[in-house]
Structure formats: C-alpha cells, structure tokens
Structure 1
Amino acid sequence: MPRISDDQDPMIVFEDVSKRFKLRHARSLKRTVMDAVQRRTIAEEFTAVNGLSFEVRPGEAVALMGKNGSGKSTTLKLLSGVLRPSDGWIRVRGRIAGLLEVGAGFHPELTGRENIYMNASILGMTKKETDERFDQIVEFSELAGFIDTEVKRYSSGMYARLGFSVAIHTELDVLLVDEVLSVGDAEFQAKCNTKLKELKEQGKTMFIVSHSAAQLKKLCDRGIVLERGRKVHDGSLDEALKIIAPKKK
C-alpha cells in the first residue's frame, strides 16, 4: 500500500473507492416469509459511490458537487471514517475536523458545555486543549446563555452553531463541511464564511459541499462533480458550476 509521509504528498487520496448498501424494502410478514421460502431476493444492493479516485494536495480547497443522491455525503463520510469503503482504499494525512450533519457527535441528553468536551474529544483534542479554547468556542457560537442547557432543546440552527464552532477551533489539518452552513441566520453564515477564508489563508485543506455558488467561488478553485456515485468532472470550479447549473439557451 502507498505511504503518505512528507509535506509534498497529498493530504487525501481516494483510489478506486466504492461504497455499496443493502436496501431492504418494507414488506408484510406473510410476504417476507413467502419470499424466504421461495428464495426470492428481499434486498437490493445500491452503489452510492462507484470507483471514485482523486487526490487533494496540501492547502487546496475543493468543492464536492452534484445533485441530491449523487454520493456527496457518502464520500465525506468515507473520508471522515464514519463509513468504510466496500472496495478501494482511502488515505488521509493529518487531523480531520468536520461538520457532516447537524447535531452529529452530540448527545441530546447532555448540555452544550458537556457536548463541547465530548465532541472535541471525538475530533482528537485533549481536555487541556479544550479548556484553553472553551471560551473561544462559546463566544463564536453565540450560545453563552444556553451552554448549560441540554442540547435536545436546541434548534437546528443552534446545533449547527455549536458544531461548527467546535470543529473550527480544533488543531485541524483537513476541514470537511457538508451543507450545514445553510442552517441559521445570514449574519452567522457570513461569520462562518469569514472564518473559512481565514483557514484557507492559513493553508488548511478544505473539502466543502454546498449548493451556494457564491460561497464556493469565494473559497474554492477546484470542483469535483459526482453523478450517481461516479466522478464526471475534476478540475476548474467554473466548469464544475456549469455542469451543475448549465445556462438556459
């Protein structure tokens, strides 16, 4: 297997990666038994990502694009380690931080304060590191008045604020963001975009899923477009945007 070792090597490598899921259809008990007796297939296989290969160099900000169901979120979950590939291999160098779903990594019965420490630990931070960054995390999230409230009482926007704030305050090398910044008010979204630009200027590697062309143009130069789990474009962001939203004649 290849070795990722020095600073000139890619931060991310996908090599012929595929991910398949079993889809089981809802059936009556009688139908399920009859299908089993007659040895009929009661589940179908769905390929969410199909033979995907790409590399991301240090400091690149890449937009992952495609219509709903194209495999974007599955790709990010494979990259983060939430899912394992059915075929192929993935290599990542450095510490990954990400916000893949609203509320991901949070326990609803714990307070915002407790979830900061738990989520930071999942992202690889020590308690000392979290202690040092705690006030910054809370200040950025603008949730000081709710930090000792159980997060099950949070709105989706509050979840996104806290999750994003924890993610960007870790010692990260690669940042993954999956559309969650569309949740919340315009002022906070602008604040998040400013922070993302700062991380880009610091040379952090970013992988971003967003339907906002304006946001992607500010952050990314390269676009990867997926269609039914396959890569159909990897190159210029402008060309990628034309594929996603072609101009009407």
Structure 2
Amino acid sequence: MHRTSEAPLPRIVVDDVHKDFKLRHTHSIKETFVAALKRKPLTTDFHALDGVSFEIGEGEAVALLGFNGSGKSTMLKLISGVLTPDRGSVLTRGRVAGLIEVGAGFHPDLSGRENIYLNAAILGMTRKETEERYAQIVEFSEIEKFIDTEVKHYSSGMFLRLAFSVAIHTEVDILLIDEILSVGDEPFQQKCLARIRELHSQGKTLVVVSHDLDMVSKLCERGILLRDGNVLFDGASSEAVEVMRR
C-alpha cells in the first residue's frame, strides 16, 4: 500500500490473517479407541479466521463485533500477541495492553501492593512509572485497606477491581478490551467506562470486544463485524450493530 509522507502510520495492521484450531471429538481414551475402530475423525479443523485484513489508525476506537465463534476474541488475542497467526501478519506500533485475561499475571501468595508492581511490569511499565501511578491505582480499585493482604484472600470482586485498575492505569498506546464490563457492580463498571473514555480522549487507540452492543456503539465510532472468520462489515459502529441485528 502506497503512503504519502503526510499520512500517519496506523497503530495496527492486520494483513490476510488465517488462524485454525483443531476441535477434539473425544474426551477419554475409551472414546478415542471406539472412534478409531469406527474410523470416525478424532478432530476437525475450525477456521477461526479466514483471510482477515484491516488497519486501525492512531486514536481510533474500534469495536470487534460478531456472534460466538465469529473469530473476534481470536483476533483480539492475535493483536495482543497471545496467539500468532498461521498465515498472514499482525503488526502493532507502540505499547499494547490487553484487558483480555484480567489478572492473569497476579500471584495469589503476594499482597495486592506486590501484585501491582508485578502486573505493571508484565504489562511493560517501568518501576518508576508504576511508582508514579501507584496511588491512583489503589484509589481507583477502592480496596486500599486490603492492599497489603495476600491476593488469595481477596473476593473475586476485589481481585478484579485491582486487576482492572492496574491495566487501565498502564502507560499504553493501544488498549485491548474483552468483555471487561461484564463483571463488577454497576458503579465500578461506569467508573471503568469513564476511564476508558478518558484514555481515548488522550489519543489512545482502543479495540473493544463486547456483547453489550449499545455500550459499544457509544464507546466506539467504528465497528468491524466478523462472521465465520471473515470481515462482513467495516464502517460506522452504529451501522455495524444494525447489520449484526438483522
């Protein structure tokens, strides 16, 4: 693709991406043995993504839409680097943080305080950056009096509050969000949404996966609708939601 020198470089380039998974049809040695005797296939290939291409510019807020099995969460994991494509390429420019498996880097035997530093480091922040944001992270999480307690004693709600708080206070260029607002109470959800909007207003690039179509159309100006591993629609988020609802 030819670019003029004035054209800004995209933050994300997805070029002809293919991703397949093998689906197992047996769950035990006995089932496998019986299936083999009957010459039934033990696995089938599932084409999660079948030649997907798009670009996302700096500062865009984009919703990845689609029904279950459409490939949207797979696409988000490819952008984050959790997965790699079988064919094609996914390129990102800048620091990427994913609210995909929130708290995946937390250690149960460490305190909340220690986990803030650990998880921030996993998300690519320096110790100095974490120290500068530490007070904001704790205040946002609303669990200050438990911050020196081991995380294994936290309720699931406390754990998620702290994990969300670390992730949305990291210094990032691209923020990937997968169903982040499906957990937690309503006031905390609204606080998270307000923070995500604030990051977008600062010029951060957002890529969002959510089943809450109304929230997505308000948060994102653009929607990429995936169906059966292909791009069915790419345009205004409100139109993408309409196409999906047909």
What are the Cα deviations for residues 42-79 of structure 1, in whole angstroms up to 9, with x where unaligned?
22222222211110000100011111222121111111
What amino acid is the match of 2:26?
A: A
Alignment of 1:133-152 (within 5 A): 133-152=133-152
| Contact kept? 1:12, 1:92, Cα under 8 Å | yes
Residue in structure 2 matched with residue 217 of structure 1 by the alignment:
217
> Which shows bigger deviation, 155-164 or 232-241?
155-164
| Contact kept? 1:138, 1:165, Cα under 8 Å | yes
- Give TM-score, length-normalised by structure 2: 0.90
CA drift at 1:6: 9.1
CA distance in structure 1 between the aligned counterparts of 2:88 and 2:236, rounded to whole angstroms: 26
> Which shows bigger deviation, 21-30 or 236-245?
21-30
Residue in structure 2 matched with residue 83 of structure 1 by the alignment:
83
Residue in structure 2 matched with residue 123 of structure 1 by the alignment:
123
Residue in structure 2 matched with residue 14 of structure 1 by the alignment:
14
CA drift at 1:39: 7.4
- 3-state SS, counterpart of residue 52 of structure 1: strand
| Contact kept? 2:97, 2:175, Cα under 8 Å | yes
How many residues align structurally? 245
- 3-state SS, counterpart of residue 193 of structure 1: helix
Query: How has the CA–CA distance of structure 1 residues 138 and 79 changed in structure 2, closer, same or farther, with 3 Å as cutoff?
Result: same
| Contact kept? 2:60, 2:205, Cα under 8 Å | yes
Residue in structure 2 matched with residue 235 of structure 1 by the alignment:
235
- 3-state SS, counterpart of residue 110 of structure 1: coil
Query: How has the CA–CA distance of structure 1 residues 42 and 66 changed in structure 2, closer, same or farther, with 3 Å as cutoff?
Result: same
CA drift at 1:7: 7.6
CA drift at 1:173: 0.3
What amino acid is the match of 1:61?
A: A
What amino acid is the match of 1:64?
A: L
> Which shows bigger deviation, 152-161 or 13-22?
152-161
CA drift at 1:182: 1.9
RMSD, aligned CA? 2.5
CA drift at 1:122: 1.0
- 3-state SS, counterpart of residue 223 of structure 1: strand
> Which shows bigger deviation, 211-220 or 82-91?
211-220
- 3-state SS, counterpart of residue 115 of structure 2: helix
> Which shows bigger deviation, 218-227 or 29-38?
29-38
| Contact kept? 1:160, 1:180, Cα under 8 Å | no
Alignment of 1:99-248 (within 5 A): 99-246=99-246
CA drift at 1:27: 4.2
CA distance in structure 2 between the aligned counterparts of 1:167 and 1:145, rounded to whole angstroms: 20
Query: How has the CA–CA distance of structure 1 residues 105 and 244 changed in structure 2, closer, same or farther, with 3 Å as cutoff?
Result: farther
CA drift at 1:195: 1.0
What are the Cα deviations for residues 157-189 of structure 1, in whole angstroms up to 9, with x where unaligned?
333322221122111100111112221111111
CA distance in structure 2 between the aligned counterparts of 1:158 and 1:49, rounded to whole angstroms: 35
CA drift at 1:36: 5.8
What amino acid is the match of 1:124?
A: G
CA distance in structure 2 between the aligned counterparts of 1:188 and 1:159, rounded to whole angstroms: 13
What are the Cα deviations for residues 92-139 of structure 1, in whole angstroms up to 9, with x where unaligned?
000011210243222233322222111111111111211221111111
What amino acid is the match of 2:163?
A: G
- 3-state SS, counterpart of residue 32 of structure 2: helix
Identity %: 59
CA distance in structure 1 between the aligned counterparts of 2:147 and 2:192, rounded to whole angstroms: 19
CA distance in structure 2 between the aligned counterparts of 1:137 and 1:210, rounded to whole angstroms: 24
- 3-state SS, counterpart of residue 10 of structure 1: coil
Gaps of 5+ in 2: none
| Contact kept? 2:217, 2:241, Cα under 8 Å | no
| Contact kept? 1:52, 1:230, Cα under 8 Å | yes
